[in-house]
């Protein structure tokens, strides 16, 4: 396609001509995919597919506040733009994942470890509490409920099951503030005893 034809094509695509958009994507998507695949940092490969970034590139190209597509002088200029958008999208995602502790890529470990010519599953610690922790929690709960009314015990047990104060109140036939008061008293007792 000559430069004038490309410019006209880009303007039609930006205006929302679906045939022009489809043709543009058909012509340049393989090139964009190669650009992404060649630049995708190794640490992102386990989290993202190449097509995730290809789609982000096209989203940027066709965004309403995106680039003025008629400014591109030739195909080389347009490809340079696509390359820059792809690079920026990948670096932006890499920076976002690297800078926040929640998504710190450096803390990730593979689920399988290579031993010789085999991959062996890594032992992953369970998030469940240990039996001894469960026993200690049960003992603490018994101590907390010792001498308390059946109503208080019911509120605490239902709260531990994940019910909201409104649900507890409805189930026990009391006002929601009564259920809140029981839990607050328990918290106060725990604080006095130094329990966490």
pLDDT value for 96: 76
Q: What angle do CA 163, 168, 169 make, to 5 degrees?
A: 150
pLDDT value for 189: 79
CATH number at residue 187: 1.10.10
Same domain, 70 and 151: no
Same domain, 11 and 77: yes
| 64 within some domain | yes
Question: One digit per residue, pLDDT tens: the chain, 196 residues?
Answer: 666 677 777 778 878 888 888 888 888 888 888 888 887 777 777 777 888 888 888 888 877 776 777 677 788 888 888 888 888 888 888 777 766 655 555 666 777 888 888 888 887 777 777 788 888 888 888 888 888 888 888 888 888 888 888 888 898 899 989 988 888 888 887 788 776 6
| 121 within some domain | no
Contact between 44 and 94 under an 8 Å Cβ cutoff? The reply is yes
Same domain, 18 and 88: yes
pLDDT value for 196: 61
Please count the structural domains in the chain.
2
Residue 13, domain extent: 3-107
Q: Which helix (H) or strand (E) holds 147?
A: none
CATH number at residue 79: 1.10.1740
Query: Tokens in use for 49?
Result: 């597919």
Residue that finishes a domain, picked among 72, 107, 142: 107
Query: Tokens in use for 61?
Result: 């190209």
| 45 within some domain | yes
pLDDT value for 98: 67
Same domain, 16 and 53: yes
Residue that finishes a domain, picked among 44, 73, 107: 107
Same domain, 136 and 91: no
pLDDT value for 102: 59
Residue that finishes a domain, picked among 44, 72, 107: 107
| 36 within some domain | yes
pLDDT value for 145: 82
Report DSSP state, residue 15: T
Same domain, 28 and 80: yes
Which residues are bridge partners to 114 per DSSP? 119
Same domain, 89 and 167: no
Sort strands 118-121 and 112-115 into parallel, antiparallel or unpaired. antiparallel
Report DSSP state, residue 129: P
Q: Which helix (H) or strand (E) holds 120?
A: strand 118-121
Same domain, 23 and 60: yes
pLDDT value for 93: 81
pLDDT value for 2: 67
Same domain, 73 and 8: yes
């Amino acid at each position: 396609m000559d430069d004038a034809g490309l410019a006209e094509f880009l303007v039609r695509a930006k205006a929302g001509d679906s045939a022009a958009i489809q043709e543009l994507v058909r012509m340049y998507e393989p090139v964009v995919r190669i650009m992404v695949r060649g630049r995708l940092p190794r640490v992102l490969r386990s989290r993202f597919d190449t097509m995730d970034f290809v789609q982000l590139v096209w989203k940027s190209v066709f965004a309403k506040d995106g680039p003025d597509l008629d400014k591109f002088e030739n195909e080389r200029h347009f490809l340079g733009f696509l390359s820059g958008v792809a690079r920026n999208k990948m670096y932006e995602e890499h920076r976002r994942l690297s800078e926040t502790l929640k998504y710190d890529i450096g803390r990730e470990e593979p689920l399988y470890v290579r031993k010789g010519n085999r991959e062996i599953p890594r032992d992953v610690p369970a998030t469940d509490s240990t039996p001894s922790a469960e026993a200690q929690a049960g003992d603490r709960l018994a101590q907390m409920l010792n001498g308390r009314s059946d109503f208080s015990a019911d509120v605490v047990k239902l709260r531990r099951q994940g019910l909201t104060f409104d649900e507890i109140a409805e189930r026990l036939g009391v006002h929601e503030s009564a259920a809140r008061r029981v839990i607050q008293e328990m918290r106060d007792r725990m604080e006095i005893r130094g329990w966490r």
